[in-house]
Amino acid sequence: MIIFGMRSFVRLIATLNVVCGSCRNPAAQRVIKRTRWFTLFFIPVFPVGVTRVMTCTYCGRASKLTKEQADQMVAAAAGDPNQPAMMTPAGDQSTSSATAREHPHS
Ligand SMILES: [Zn+2]
C-alpha cells in the first residue's frame, strides 16, 4: 500500500512596514512563502507549487504576490526595515486571477 499526499511548508521570508493597500494603515506586512510538497509515506519528495503571500498584521488582509513582488519585498526588507515604503499591492484583482493560477513544475 502506498501512502501519498500533500504537505505545505510555510516560511517567513520578510517583514516590512508599508502602507497597507487594504486598511490604509502603515503596518508591518509579513511576507511568507508557502511551498507545497508531494509526500510519499509522509516524506516530502518534490515541491509541486510555491505561493507567496503578504499578510497585513493590522487588518489581517492576505494578498498573493508574484515572485517578482516577493523578491522586491525581501530586498526592501533587507535594505532598511525601518524605512516605510510605498507600494501598490496586487489587491482585489489578484484574488480572482491568482487563485486559479498555480505554477506546477513541468
Ligand atoms: Zn491592513
Check pLDDT > 90 for residue 50: yes
Higher pLDDT, 63 or 98: 63
Q: For the segment 53-64, what is each residue's pLDDT rounded down to a tens digit?
A: 999 999 999 999
Separation of 53 CA from ligand 1 center, angstroms?
13
Separation of 99 CA from ligand 1 center, angstroms?
20
Query: Among 15-19, 47-51, 87-91, 92-96, where is mean pLDDT lowest?
Result: 92-96
Nearest to 15 by CA among 68, 58, 66: 58
Q: Show the domain range for 57.
A: 4-80
Separation of 105 CA from ligand 1 center, angstroms?
32
- Is 95 contained in some domain? no
Q: For the segment 64-73, what is each residue's pLDDT rounded down to a tens digit?
A: 999 999 999 8
- Is 44 contained in some domain? yes
Separation of 85 CA from ligand 1 center, angstroms?
14
Structurally, the chain folds into a number of domains equal to 1
Q: Is the dihedral of CA 38, 41, 42, 44 positive or negative?
A: negative
- Is 90 contained in some domain? no
- Is 88 contained in some domain? no
Here the cell at position 47 is: 515541491
Distance in angstroms (rounded) separating the CA atoms of residues 48 and 81: 31
